[in-house]
Structure formats: structure tokens, C-alpha cells
Amino acid sequence: MEYSNILNQYAPAATVEQVAEQVAAAKAAQSKNENTEVYKFCLSAVDLTTLTCNDSVESVTEFANRAVDFYKAYPEIENVASICVYPSFVETVGLAIDGTPMRITSVAGGFPSSQTFLEVKMLEVAMAVENGADEVDIVLNVGKMLTGAYDEAANEVEMIRSEMDDDVVLKVILETGALKTPELIRKASLISMAAGADFIKTSTGKIDVAATPEAAVVMCQAIKDYYDKTGRKVGFKAAGGVKSPQDAALYYTIVEQILGQEWLTTELFRIGASSAANNLLSAIVGSSVSHF
């Protein structure tokens, strides 16, 4: 499919100055969302993540068990949305969280660089789903985006989407810190959604520049424009460097201001994090806690 033609149907991205104004407005308003109820929601929207070279069956099992133990330790607080791991640990997580509402998220498709054969990406995604992944996070081919090969980048997403049943959630990571400009971030957002993304996500967390409020503003505006044109709601996920309750409240506020309250559900808003979960929990209970 020629996705480049789709881009012509949309207005250009906001300027750097316009984006800065929207970020400033969100920062000015975020204090009203720095409260227990918002923190509880943000915790429930967390994809609790472990993606290190040190991961093992033993460590991932322990990691998942701590999330399962949360139900007993804090029955009055909604637990995290999912546990996010590499594909080889999907089955491990499935065994640990069986019987709970938590979902299994797997990065796949050549994460974090997306620099491998398309066939390998498709097979890895298919294997993750076969092993029990409810949600899959892939990385848009940044190299193709930077060289203007938008159709090729989007067609990869389309082909990978074809490896999943409709009930599997596909999140496409834009790696906005590498794309840098509002115009390129907007193009990446629009073609990813057109190619079948259920969520667009800021970052892998594996490069120096991860999630930024500026990228979030551009992405959320693209989601709004795409919804206005197609009627299909696509979610937003902030990941990489989201650590404090204040960070979470800022992204919550950006989504609230641009997309509205109807996007503030775990079906349309997620936070990819590890340390943020404990920090949010600490803010909720009013003392320092390290549960996860």
C-alpha cells in the first residue's frame, strides 16, 4: 500500500514553537492532576517492564510473582495493566500470572533496533503471540523513516500486523528521540496508525533521548486528527524515562488536554515503566514503598 499518499490527507505538523506552547500549557495544568486518584489510574496503566540482558527464567518469574502478590498486599488499589518482557519469557510470565487480569506484553520484531529481516520480525511476533502474548510492542523502522522510505516502513507494520489475531494489541514504537522533528514524528504516527497500530508509543528506552512531552504532544495531536478522519481510536503509550509520579501526571495531562477524558482508560493510555510503578505506589500510600 502507498502510505505516503495518506500523509497528504493531513495538515503539516505543528511548529516547534507551537509544540512548546502546548507543553507549557500542560505543565501549567498538571498540578491539578498530581493527586492520589490520578496516581492510582496511572499505576493501573503501567506496563511493568523488565528488558535487560540479565533477565532469566528465575528473575522474570520473581518479577512477575511480585506483581501477582500486589493483589493481596494492596487489594484496594488496581494493579498494573501488564508485564512486558522479551519474547522468550512470555510463557514464563503466563505461568506466573495465570488466573489474574494482568496481560502479557512482549517486545518483538527485532526490538530495540528493528534492524533485521522482515521475515525474522514476523516470525518473532508470531512466536510471541503463539506463546501467549496479549500485546506486542514493535519498533518502526527508523532508518527507513529518516531516509523518506515511508511506504516501506509502514508496509513492515502492515505485514507484522497480519501475524496477529484481531484481539492482539499492536503497539508501534516510533523512537521519537531518533526522529527528532515534529514533522517526522507526526508522519511516523500517521503511517503507523494507518498500517494497523492499536497504540503508538514514544520510545524503546534504549537510546539517550526517550519519552519527551514534546513528542507526546505531536503524537496525541496525530491520534486526534486520525480519529477525526477515520473514526478509529488509537492509544498512546509513554515509555522510556517516565519515572516519577509527576512525570506520569504530565503525560496524563497532555492526553487529557488534547484527546480528552475518553482516552484516559487503560485501553487507550499506557505507561511503560519499571521504577515508576514503585514511585507511584509510594505517592499513593504516602510512604516510600518498593513492592515491584
Q: Which of 47, 171, 201, 247 is catalytic?
A: 201
Strands (E), 55-193: 82-85, 103-107, 135-139, 169-173
Q: What is the DSSP string of 64-95?
A: HHHHHHHHHH-TTSPPPSEEEE-GGGHHHHHH
Residue 201 annotated in active site: yes
Is residue 231 packed enough to be buried (19+ CB in 10 Å), middle (13-18) or exposed (0-12)?
Answer: exposed
Question: Which residues fall within 8 angstroms of residue 248, CB to CB, at 6 or more apart?
Answer: 38, 39, 42, 242, 271, 276, 280
Alpha-carbon dihedral of residues 263, 158, 5, 235, nearest 10 degrees?
10
Q: Interhelix angle for 245-258 vs 213-230, to 10°?
A: 30
CA dist 280 and 282 (Å) reads 5
Q: Which of 121, 171, 187, 237 is catalytic?
A: 237
Q: Which of 137, 171, 187, 198 is catalytic?
A: 137
Residue 237 annotated in active site: yes
Residue 47 annotated in active site: no
Residues recognised as catalytic: 137, 201, 237
